[in-house]
Amino acid sequence: MGALEQLPQLAVYGVVSGSIITLGAVGLSLTYSILRFSNFSHGDLMTTGAYMGLGFLWLFQGLLPGRWAPLSFGPALLPALALAMVGNAGLAIVVDRLVFRRLRRAKPVLLLMAAVGVAFVLRNLVLFGAQSDPLYYSRRIQRALVLGGIRIKADQLFVIGVALLAVLALHLFLRYTKTGKAMRAMADNPDLAQVSGINTERVVIWTWALGAALAALAGILSGIENKLITPELGWQTLLPLFAAVILGGIGSPYGAMLGGMTIGLAEEVSTAFISTSYKPAVAFGVLVVMLLVRPQGLLGRR
Amino acid sequence: MPLLEATGIRSGYGDMEVLHGVDVHLEAGELVTIIGPNGAGKSTLLKTIFGLLKAHAGVVRLAGRDITGTPPHRIVHWGMCYVPQVDNVFPSLTVEENLEMGAFILRGRLAPRLERVYSLFPALAARRRQRVGKMSGGERQMVAMGRALMLDPKVLLLDEPTAALAPNLVEQVFQSILAIKDSGVAILMVEQNARHSLSISDRGYVLVDGRNRCHGTGQQLLQDEEIGRMFLGG
């Protein structure tokens, strides 16, 4: 099959991986815009979320057995998803208390180094608890559905659907709730937020909770899509996450959605022309071109 | 008892002391202007009163309550709000969202408060869904003051509300300030536009080098020859 005939199929794969990248990138963008540093531990929050999700999945499989064919999982996934999101939010809040809160007024570069340290600690905690061998969300070989000549697995439709719902929910939260508006206000002007009487520490906690919950979701969806997870999962995703955030415009959650989808598509479509092993290079290439051509990003201001 | 009283204020940035013992007070319903040359410490005084800067010495009382060193997000609960000179709006939020942020500490319906602000600034009412970042300097200043009025404060602190505004807008902003005063809010403001602001003020203070230079009614200061020569351009 020639490269061009492959394109629609690859575009579908791009949307699937773009959905996962988007969920990670949106959280990274939120923490960037409100806490004002590049959180290098965000990828590893995806990892902790993915492992929590799998742990809860095993726990609930006894209570809620069965499988929703043609999906590779059954009802046990739903409570596992919810609890992993809550658990990961809690983990991020604890990390904030222990590390980042002490550095609230520190220079961004210090926070960045602290985040790299947190990333190592989180990854090694996962390694310590779960060993380095991959763990499986599912070992079942799934037959793809054929829709209009394009092959897509039911799990992949689920990934896209859940990502869409999560992004929509986040949009409604930011647009219409008091806390969501305060988050946008604080991203705009933290000093004025404080002067207005906004409880900025509470906004920070919400930011961590939302970012980590979305990271858990991204990690679990990645486990479902790839069948397996490893302790390196999030660290390996970090480059596409940053590429997506910078592409969309640093600090703009809507830009991160756009950037995530673009990076996912670019990575998958590139495999029609170059070897799959260059996928990370494609994300990096898009990032470099963007920084040269439009450093403020697609939706960034200034 | 004055509504707001700052006595013996010493304050500054780090080791650098800018204010060397300043006294000001504000009675209920008054409009008081602080003028003085650049670097006199006018903005520093407002920031210290509002708890953005720590006073090295001195006491700030609001309605008899000692609020020295209280952080801003607590002070707003006691009925005093502040409009900074620059960056005083949330540009990516709409007009109405900016106003809502001013009342963040309140629970429940904001509609009556919003309507009150819109009646003070009718120009904003028609643009409540518009993003503030795309609005003119004069409109932004109205949004900034509107945000600070959402808590229905007893005292409003304004830091150079007409700085960087076109002359026709300056008049408009002063009219708004008078309207706010007429609604019963006491205002302490810092202004570069000395002649104009003193002419609408009940009283004024002249601050030089971090010390009180003189103090009187707006008219007294306007007619004082020395002050006229020094600050009012002849």
Choices 3.50.50.60, 3.40.50.1970, 3.40.50.720, 3.40.50.300: CATH for B4-86+154-231: 3.40.50.300
Nearest C-alpha neighbor of A169 from the set A113, A217, A121, A112 = A217
Q: What is the pLDDT of residues B24-72, one digit of tens each?
A: 999 999 999 999 988 899 999 999 999 999 999 999 999 999 999 999 9
Type of residue numbered B52: L
* pLDDT category of residue B233 using cuts at 50, 70 and 90: low
Taking contacts as CB-CB distances below 8 angstroms, the residues of chain B near A104 are: none
Tell me the backbone φ, ψ of residue A72, rounded to 5 degrees: -90, 0
Please tell me the distance in Å from A188's CA to the nearest CA on chain B.
6
Please tell me the distance in Å from A262's CA to the nearest CA on chain B.
24
CB contact under 8 A, A189 and B101: no
Average pLDDT over residues A285-292: 89
Q: Which domain holds residue A71?
A: 3-293
Collect all residues with Cβ–Cβ distance below 8 Å to B18 and sequence separation of at least 6: B11, B12, B41, B44, B210
CB contact under 8 A, B90 and A188: yes
Tell me the backbone φ, ψ of residue A88, rounded to 5 degrees: -70, -35
* pLDDT category of residue A279 using cuts at 50, 70 and 90: confident
Structure tokens at A87: 């658990």
CB atoms within 10 A of CB B61: 17
Residue B92: which of A188, A199, A200 has the nearest Cβ? A188
Structure tokens at B95: 């007009």
Tell me the backbone φ, ψ of residue B81, rounded to 5 degrees: -125, 165
Q: What is the pLDDT of residues B100-120, one digit of tens each?
A: 999 999 998 999 999 999 999
CB contact under 8 A, A195 and B72: yes
Q: What is the pLDDT of residues A70-128, one digit of tens each?
A: 899 999 999 999 999 999 999 999 999 999 999 988 898 999 999 999 999 999 999 99
Tell me the backbone φ, ψ of residue A179, rounded to 5 degrees: -65, -40
- Using a 10 angstrom Cβ sphere, with 0-12 exposed, 13-18 middle and 19 or more buried, the burial of residue B150 is buried
What is the total count of domains within chain A?
Answer: 1
Average pLDDT over residues A152-173: 95
Q: What's the pLDDT score for residue B121? A: 93
Q: What's the pLDDT score for residue B234? A: 47
pTM, to two decimals: 0.90
Residue B76: which of A178, A184, A197 has the nearest Cβ? A197
Helix then strand then coil, % of chain B, to nearest 5: 40, 30, 35
Q: What's the pLDDT score for residue B39? A: 87
* pLDDT category of residue A301 using cuts at 50, 70 and 90: low
Interhelix angle A77-98/A200-226, nearest 10 degrees: 140
Q: What is the pLDDT of residues B136-152, one digit of tens each?
A: 988 999 999 999 999 99
**How far out from the chain centre does Cα B34 lie?**
10
Q: What is the pLDDT of residues A189-245, one digit of tens each?
A: 999 999 999 999 999 999 999 999 999 999 999 999 999 999 999 999 999 999 999
Q: What's the pLDDT score for residue A1? A: 56
Inform me whether the pLDDT recorded for B1 exceeds 90.
Answer: no
Helix then strand then coil, % of chain A, to nearest 5: 75, 5, 25
Mean of the per-residue pLDDT values for chain A? 93
Q: How far, in Å, CA of A261 to CA of A254, rounded?
A: 11
Q: What is the pLDDT of residues A35-72, one digit of tens each?
A: 999 999 999 999 999 999 999 999 999 999 989 988 99
Inform me whether the pLDDT recorded for A15 exceeds 80.
Answer: yes
CB contact under 8 A, B102 and A181: no
**Residue A300 domain flag:** no
CB contact under 8 A, B147 and A184: no
CB atoms within 10 A of CB A220: 31
Q: What's the pLDDT score for residue B168? A: 86
Q: What's the pLDDT score for residue A85? A: 98
CB atoms within 10 A of CB B85: 17
Q: What's the pLDDT score for residue A254? A: 87
Q: How far, in Å, CA of B194 to CA of B228, rounded?
A: 10
CB atoms within 10 A of CB B128: 14
- The DSSP code for A144 is P
Taking contacts as CB-CB distances below 8 angstroms, the residues of chain B near A199 are: 73, 104
Task: Assign residue A277 the CATH number of its domain.
Answer: 1.10.3470
Q: What angle do CA A225, A230, A234 make, to 5 degrees?
A: 80
Structure tokens at B12: 């500054």
Task: Assess contact for A188 and A60: CB atoms under 8 A.
Answer: no
Chosen for mutation from B46, B104, B106, B141 (greatest number of chain A CBs closer than 10 Å) is B104
Among A36-50, A171-185, B157-171, the least confident range: B157-171
CB atoms within 10 A of CB A20: 29
Q: How far, in Å, CA of B32 to CA of B189, rounded?
A: 6
- How far lies A2's CA from each of A145, B104, B159, in Å? 22, 59, 67
- How far lies A276's CA from each of A17, A136, A267, A281, in Å? 14, 23, 9, 10
**Residue A62 domain flag:** yes
Residue B91: which of A188, A194, A200 has the nearest Cβ? A188
Q: If residue A31 lies in a helix (H) or strand (E), which one and from where to where?
A: helix A3-35
- How far lies B87's CA from each of A216, B90, B91, B176, B233, in Å? 36, 8, 9, 19, 29
* pLDDT category of residue A280 using cuts at 50, 70 and 90: confident
Q: What is the pLDDT of residues B172-221, one digit of tens each?
A: 899 999 999 999 999 999 998 888 999 999 999 999 999 999 899 988 98
CB contact under 8 A, B90 and A195: no
**How far out from the chain centre does Cα B166 lie?**
19
Q: What angle do CA B137, B139, B145 make, to 5 degrees?
A: 105
H helix count then E strand count, chain B: 10, 10
DSSP SS3 for A227: coil
CB contact under 8 A, A192 and B90: yes
CB atoms within 10 A of CB A152: 18
